[in-house]
Structure 1
Amino acid sequence: MMYCPKLTASLTIPSYLPFCHYTRQFLPSHFRSSDKNPNLVSIIRAKPRISHSLRCFASSSMATTPPTQSSETKPYSVLFVCLGNICRSPAAEGVFRDIVKKRGLDSKFNIDSAGTIDYHEGNMADPRMRSAAKRRGIEITSLSRPIKASDFREFDLILAMDDQNKEDILKAYNVWKARGNFPPDADKKVKLMCSYCKKHNDKFVPDPYYGGAQGFEKVLDLLEDACESLLDSVTVQS
């Protein structure tokens, strides 16, 4: 049976962020109250109309934002972002934590993940993603949360899994920027995850949500490649 998260009738979606794995037009007609528990609702899935048309980024996108002057005492902060923060970005967080720990650099990094929507907020990662990672000795324990304005102040690098994620992050940034003060060129912190890949030529990390087991393995292959290179890049610059 396909994994289906619980949904409450009080769900609200910020206007500047995209909807998750369901299309808006199908959502209302498929809410059905449970006979056993009227507070629970079920929903029929509709494949999202999310464009994955991608463009190649210049080689300069490989450059990581240099640590600030206080980097000797302040951990380097990395935020991984995908759509719902239940598959790709929590896996990226888990993979990067594992690599950092194996190199004995835990104290040097602050690592987190988020989504461009709040649909799954508070939920653990997709069990299929957690199982695939666990088979590689990687634990994914994070809970889903949406990206927030303060992330642009607190993180040195924000890595999007695909072009659509990056576009949505920057749209949210422009809304928040108009409402408050942000560090100069904070939007330059946003880069593509696969820009760090060395063993793979993929331009984005595909969403495995609707696919089979191989999709989750593919995601982990890309993330392990990118995270190794990412850590090398950051440690060299610091």
Structure 2
Amino acid sequence: MAATSSKSVLFVCLGNICRSPIAEAVFRKMATDAGVVDKWVIDSGATSDWNIGSSPDARGLSCLRKHNIETRHRARQVTKEDFMSFEYILCMDESNLSDLKRKANSVKNYKAKIELLGSYDPQKQLIIKDPYYGSDEDFETVYEQCVRCCKAFLEANS
């Protein structure tokens, strides 16, 4: 999947329809604007199998469009191969983190660095809360957190 000369990041949340596709789209736009998107393999995935093949949540898509960002992502579940092919796997909360670490333990010599995306937040908001049962404002909060975290992550990896 990821070429040896490229950097790679997989954003992960529970269902891959709210937080992780927003993070993926935000990071892709930042990398594009910075002229480095061709140096990255960028994707997102879910710890669960609930939404495989689904488009991102309409409220998330609306939030992204409001910020002039488009995505054609379809939800997918994280695979064992992801732990070998991605350099970074960045997730949204402690539950995602423990699910990923448990899955990673079944992969021999996996190379991915598994972290909370929020660990890059200059405002130190470690957890990016699931907006699924929330409002449009909750999606906007997720977007703003993703912007801060992705900016810091991209700077740390440039």
TM-score range, shorter chain: over 0.9
Q: Does 1:182 align with 2:109?
A: yes
More helix by share: 2
Q: CA RMSD in A?
A: 1.3
Task: Establish whether residue 228 from structure 1 lines up as the match of residue 155 from structure 2.
Answer: no
Q: Contact between 1:85 and 1:145, CA under 8 Å: does it hold in 2?
A: yes
Identity in percent: 37
Pairing 1:203–2:126 present: yes
C-alpha distance in structure 2 between counterparts of 1:193 and 1:106, whole Å: 19
Moved over 2 A (4+): none
SS at match of 2:148: helix
Distance 1:212 1:89 in 2: 17
Rounded Cα–Cα distance in structure 1 between residues aligned with 2:45 and 2:127: 17
1:129 is matched with which residue?
Answer: 60
TM-score by length of 2: 0.95
The higher relative CO (CA closer than 8 Å, separation ≥ 6) is in: 2
Preserved CA contact (<8 Å) 1:77 1:155? yes
Partner of 1:109: 40
Match of residue 89, structure 1, among 13, 20, 24: 20
Taking the aligned partners of 1:201 and 1:193, their CA distance within structure 2 comes to 11
Q: Across the two proteins, how many residue pairs are aligned to each other?
A: 156
Q: Which residue of 2 aligns with 1:192?
A: 116
1:139 aligns with 2:70: yes
| C-alpha separation in 1, matches of 2:121 and 2:98 | 20
Gaps (5+ residues) in structure 1?
1-69
Contact 1:77 1:157 in 2 (8 A): yes
Q: Secondary structure at the match of 2:42?
A: strand
> Normalized against structure 1, the TM-score is what?
0.63
